[in-house]
């Protein structure tokens, strides 16, 4: 399956992973985690439930190379996970409230990731929109009064561009208002990304 299809289907997969059952049959909420690379400009969001799905979003220098979805990764009993997608491998551990992972690229490039759970009722989390044949993702981190945002648009032709959040960063009924300068001839467009 191509990266495009993984990116395009990631929103749907994650949206159905929000609630699950524990071994004793009790309903439990999914755990959204957001975090950053320990160095570099990569951020990520993950949903940890009976499995884990991770959206990795590159920054100024890596949005076209490091942005990708890893979805439905099985979790070992101790929270360990590993998956490979188109030459990229992610492996890590999902603790009770934290997540750590290593992302390794086909040329041996390595990115260490670390994140923590975020409140269900806060602005921090993952926002997505299916547009131009691919799933645009936006990761919001930090407190509601000083959020940090980073996102990547993609299309079904393998093109990428950075997402720009239109200030102020607020969640409306439609989602968070963003714009993207898509490669020519597509040009500038604005739309909303919604929490999944």
Pull the structure tokens for residue 96: 């009770």
Distance CA 166, CA 180 (A): 10
For residue 95, how many other CB atoms are within 10 A of its CB? 15
Mean pLDDT, all residues of the chain: 86
Burial class (CB in 10 A: 0-12, 13-18, 19+), 123: buried
Tell how far CA 92 is from the center of its chain: 16
For residue 46, how many other CB atoms are within 10 A of its CB? 27
Distance CA 1, CA 162 (A): 24
- Mean pLDDT, residues 106-135 taken together: 94
Provide, rounded to the nearest whole percent, the portion of the chain with pLDDT above 70: 85
Q: Could you read off the pLDDT of 63-100 as tens digits, one per residue?
A: 999 999 999 999 999 999 999 999 999 999 998 899 99
Strands in 43-48's sheet, in edge-to-edge order, are 68-74, 51-57, 43-48, 31-37, 110-117, 98-104, 88-94, 80-85
Q: Among the residues of 3-134, which ranges form H helices?
A: 3-15, 63-66
Inter-residue contact 114 to 97 (CB < 8 Å): no
Q: Give, in words, the CATH class of 3-117.
A: mainly beta
pLDDT band at 120; cut points 50, 70, 90:
confident
Pull the structure tokens for residue 136: 């645009």
- Dihedral of the alpha carbons of 153, 85, 41, 155, in degrees to the nearest 10: -10
Residue the block writes with tokens 């490979």: 84
Inter-residue contact 58 to 42 (CB < 8 Å): yes
- Mean pLDDT, residues 7-11 taken together: 38
Handedness of CA 32, 168, 165, 191 (dihedral sign): positive
pLDDT at residue 9 tops 80: no
Specify the pLDDT at position 8: 37
pLDDT band at 30; cut points 50, 70, 90:
low
pLDDT at residue 4 tops 80: no
Domain boundaries, the chain: 3-117, 125-195
């Amino acid at each position: 399956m191509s990266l495009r299809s993984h990116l395009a289907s990631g929103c749907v997969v994650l949206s159905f992973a929000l609630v699950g059952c524990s071994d004793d049959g009790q309903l439990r909420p999914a755990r959204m985690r957001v975090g950053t690379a320990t160095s570099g400009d990569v951020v990520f969001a993950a949903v940890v439930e009976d499995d884990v799905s991770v959206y990795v979003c590159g920054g100024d220098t890596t949005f076209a190379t490091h942005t990708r979805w890893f979805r439905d990764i099985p979790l070992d009993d101790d929270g360990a996970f590993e998956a490979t997608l188109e030459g990229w491998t992610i492996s890590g551990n999902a603790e009770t409230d934290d997540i750590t992972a290593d992302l390794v690229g086909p040329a041996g490039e390595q990115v260490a990731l670390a994140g923590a759970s975020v409140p269900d009722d806060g602005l921090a989390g993952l926002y997505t929109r299916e547009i131009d044949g691919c799933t645009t993702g936006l990761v919001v981190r930090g407190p509601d009064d000083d959020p940090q945002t980073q996102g990547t648009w993609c299309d079904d032709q393998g093109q990428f561009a950075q997402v720009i959040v239109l200030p102020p960063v607020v969640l409306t009924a439609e989602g968070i208002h963003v714009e993207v300068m898509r490669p020519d001839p597509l040009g500038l467009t604005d739309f909303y990304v919604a929490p999944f």
